[in-house]
Amino acid sequence: MAELLLLNGPNLNLLGTREPEHYGSTSLASITVHLQKMAADAGHNLSHLQSNAEHELVERIHTAWQEKVEFIIINPAAFTHTSVALRDALAAVEIPFIEVHLSNIHGREEFRRHSFLSDLAAGTISGL
């Protein structure tokens, strides 16, 4: 059984109500329950943290290493474009991760088109 960690950044607690034209109408709670069931069905454990605070996400990445988490799935949200701290934390623990975005960041505003994480990620997944 693999230990997996799902991290969600700022404002994702508002999924389902905030800008549904970009992010859809499904709540974060619904998405998380679905992913936890998929992980369990495959014999894995998926823990989750959503935070609007950068330092809480950084601390969770640090503890993931101590807990022997084998893979991280992260939607850094707005921290994608600003957070050297998240980048440094992910690089420090050397846990493979996938960067996920609900919208296509390259089709959005210019300031959203850069990621501090993509070059470290095992892969990236983005919506339309």
CB contact at 8 A, 117 and 90: yes
Active-site residue, from 22, 23, 44, 48: 23
Closest C-alpha to 80, from 44, 30, 116, 104: 116
Strand pairing report for 71-75 and 3-8: parallel
Active-site residue, from 44, 101, 106, 114: 101
Distance (Å, rounded) from C-alpha 64 to C-alpha 34?
22
Q: Is 101 a catalytic residue?
A: yes
- Sequence letter at residue 116: F
Q: Which active-site residues does the annotation give?
A: 23, 101
